[in-house]
A and B are shown apart, each in its own frame.
Chain A
Amino acid sequence: MRRSKLVVGAISLLVLAGAGTGLALSLHGSTSGPAARLAGLTNQQQLRLQHGVTASTVVAQAAVVAREVRNQFVSRGQPLLPAGSRLSIIAKTFHALSAQMATVDATVTGPQPSRWQLVLVREAGEWLVLGTRQLS
């Protein structure tokens, strides 16, 4: 009896703390509520991400990098992709994990062709890149 009640609490704590972690990553300026819950990736945001990831300077690229990792990224000074790369987001693969987190696949062409899954967070109404995972 006591154990089952523990379960309820543990799950809620875990999910809240864990989900909170993800969400806390986009706390600043994040939108919330039913309207944001179904937010998708607009054409404009898709183009902004594509251009931003391959922008000519690290500072310009930082504009599409999530705030939580932006300073580290700028400090490191290494561009996201080799010069001459192009990023094409495959919009139909966009999948919202929550109001503030989503994934979408993308293809990189240029010096090092590759396929990636982008982890996006929504900050101040914009989808930004929080992480990537290379697809085989």
Chain B
Amino acid sequence: MAGARDAAAVMIRNHAASSAWLAIPVAMITLAWTATMSAVASTAGHFSNSEPCPSVSANLHLGTATPVLLVHGFNEGPAVFTREGSPTLDKAISSAIPGAVKVVTFDYSKWSRLWVTFTLIGPQLAKCITWLAHISALQNGPGKVIIVAHSMGGLAVRCAVDPGCAKGTQAVDPSLIALVITLGTPNTGSQPQSLGPVLDTVCASLSWCNDWLILRDSPAAQAMSPGSADLAKLAFLPGIVPVDALAGQITVTTNLFGAKYVLKDLGDVIVPISSALADAKQGALHDGPGANKITVNCGTVSVTQLPGWIKASASKLAPAAPATCWHLTETTARTWQADIIAAIKDALAGAPSGACHTPAPAPPGTAYVVGHLSNGSGTVTPVDLAAGTAGTPIPVGSNAGPIAIAPDGKTAYVTSVFDGLTPINLATGTASAPIPVAGGALGIAITPDGKTAYVTTYSGPGVTPVSLPADSPGTPIATKYGQFLAIAITPDGKTAYVGSQYGHMVIPINLATAAPGPPIPVGGSPRAIAITPDGKTAYVAGGPADVGGGGSYLTAITVATNTARKPIPLAGLPQAIAITPDCKTAYVILISGTATLTPVSLPAGTVGIPIPLTSGSYQMALSPDGKTAYVTNYSGTVTPVSLPAGTLGTPIRAGRGSEAIALASAG
């Protein structure tokens, strides 16, 4: 549900007194529309009820490309996908996946203030989706459609698939849909409708409010009121349809004499997060290629900033700083476009997120490399991996350690034993003041939803959660068993595995209850942990303990049971570990006189031929496609290593004392 995006807004204002447009006979609309439609004979089976999409040529050539159908929202038109943004969403998708997709739009702009059950919205969309799938199959394509729906467009899709909603026509066969991506869809309602009398009060002092008040009275807006009978009647998508739901989050905070509180979660200003994610991947439901539920952090506004923020945003017609996105930018913001494209790529590859898969090749992004100057102070250097050039180092304080990048790609967090946790705005390349972490910050892992960083502590009680965007630390989770460095979180965000450097053990932590489970004995003192993309197995690379010595091992832990398998001996002290997206190989940096990048076949645990690295190699990050390891070196470089061949590329200068590294994907 977006603002008055089309010409009807002024028309509505001019006719506000009577609201006569609401009384336009539906029959007339239907007749006028259908008279312009060129019906296509339906075929038997799940392609029956096929009809070209409005404004799309009946001779559409898809070839083998997968059709991507863009469905706009309330009071919008296709322009939100084809004219707004730089690049526009349709161009962003087409250029990111050239040849593999064909983007088309579903235009119901003339009726977009009517409820989705209207003949020319949900039912017409059902015909359009079926038609696209049909011609895709006829032209040797996949015979399936990927749908990207903004706001109420997602509800139109629900209607199109719901036999009880798409009355007078046949609902879409769910098997014809490869993926539905929803952007701020008010599955359980939207916010403005819930304000009721307050809007009237506000509008008494705003001259342009009539537009909104009338929109609020439109059938669609009424239907999208939380708890409305119309919403209740609209079935959620069947579980067979993979859903990737994106929600925006602007957080309002307040401060009471120095103590900070989160006052309100605005969602994307229009649609609450809970509503936007209500029909998304939930366990096995809606799982599948590209399925996910993502909350995009749009920033935090303090209550004292709020009046000025509103004024600034209104004058800019865009979310003013510190907010970076909201409902009206969900089709145009780069972060959102990147998430949409990633989900489409997953769907095309037939690989669900959170599963072992072989992703499509992706251009290298940016590496953020933690380095140390001679005086001990730390830096984070951005390295453009495609260009092979380093940017300006960002100062981050002393003894900087591991680095992690939030899932939205906007912020990196760097740990420091002395300074705590330092957030870095990756867009501006600036570090904020560190967040003190009692006991000193050592390791870090961020939950897949981007809401919490778990920081292991040097001398503290164990693990400290920090709400993101960076806030004051929460209550530490006491795990006993001494100092911790390694930490990893399962892809479902339910469990963290923390390695004790003082014992040959890993502590599983239930993140929902913040309860540590019984220690899991592993081979060696844990130095690095990685979890397979399917979340089924955690691999712990351990070396000789500080007390008691011992050898080096790779130990697999079955996540479902938290039991360790027999440790696999390794030759050298493990420094880092990464697992390929297909779950077939773990790569471990081992130091034993010389440094190697050693492959281990999974799940068999067969150690492969080590790839020799240059002296001083230390940490690494694996590219999203698993084809390149980027290895840091104390000498101040990052070296790309082609996998599985093991060919070392030209080292890229990255700043003195390069150690920890994290990758941000391109775009």
Contacts and interface: CB of A to CB of B under 8 A. Distances in A.
Contacts of B549: none
A121 B6 CA distance: 36
A23 B5 contact: no
Contacts of B327: 13
Contacts of A22: 303, 306-307
A45 B303 CA distance: 22
Interface in A39-98: 65, 68-69, 72-73, 76, 78, 80-81, 97-98
Interface string A6-21: 1111111111111111
Given A9-B3, A9-B75, A119-B303, A21 B266 contact: yes
Interface stretch (B179-187, B254-262, B347-355): B254-262
Nearest to A31: B201
Interface string B185-227: 0000001100101111111001011011001000000000000
A1 B254 CA distance: 40
B306 A18 contact: yes
B137 interface: no
Which has the most chain A C-beta neighbours within 10 Å: B7, B212, B215, B302?
Answer: B212
Interface in B377-415: none
B209 A12 contact: yes
B304 A133 contact: yes
Given A5-B7, A8-B10, A32 B259 contact: no
Contacts of B303: 22, 25, 119, 130-131
A29 interface: no
Contacts of B591: none
Nearest to B80: A6
A107 interface: no
B79 A2 contact: yes
Interface residues of B, number: 53
Which has the most chain B C-beta neighbours within 10 Å: A14, A81, A117, A130?
Answer: A14
B40 interface: no
Closest 9 CB pairs of A and B: A9-B4, A9-B3, A18-B310, A131-B254, A13-B3, A32-B201, A131-B303, A12-B212, A10-B3
A6 to B, nearest CB: 5
B259 A78 contact: yes
B540 interface: no
Given A9-B9, A132-B258, 18 more contacts: A9-B75, A13-B3, A13-B269, A14-B3, A14-B326, A15-B310, A20-B202, A22-B307, A32-B198, A32-B200, A65-B256, A68-B264, A69-B261, A73-B259, A76-B259, A97-B307, A131-B255, A132-B256
Interface of A: 1-2, 5-25, 27, 30, 32-33, 65, 68-69, 72-73, 76, 78, 80-81, 97-99, 101, 108, 116-117, 119, 129-134
A20 B125 CA distance: 33
A131 B201 contact: no
22 contacts: A8-B211, A10-B328, A12-B3, A12-B208, A13-B4, A14-B313, A14-B314, A16-B192, A16-B202, A18-B269, A18-B310, A19-B310, A21-B252, A23-B201, A25-B303, A32-B200, A72-B261, A73-B256, A108-B257, A132-B258, A132-B304, A134-B258
Contacts of A15: 202, 206, 310, 314
Contacts of A17: 191-192, 266, 269-270
B4 to A, nearest CB: 2
Contact of B192 (A20, A30, A33): A20
A12 B4 CA distance: 9
B317 interface: yes
A57 to B, nearest CB: 16
B49 to A, nearest CB: 33
Given A69-B261, A131-B302, A12 B201 contact: no
B128 interface: no
Contacts of A12: 3-4, 206, 208-209, 211-212
Interface string B1-26: 01111110110000000000000000
Nearest to B4: A9
A98 B648 CA distance: 64
Contacts of A132: 255-258, 304
B138 interface: no
A69 B255 CA distance: 10
B634 interface: no
A11 B317 contact: yes
B515 interface: no
A35 to B, nearest CB: 12
Given A21-B266, A68-B263, A6 B195 contact: no
B418 interface: no
Contacts of B215: 9
B4 A131 contact: no
Given A2-B6, A133-B255, A99 B306 contact: no
Interface in B312-364: 313-314, 317, 326-328
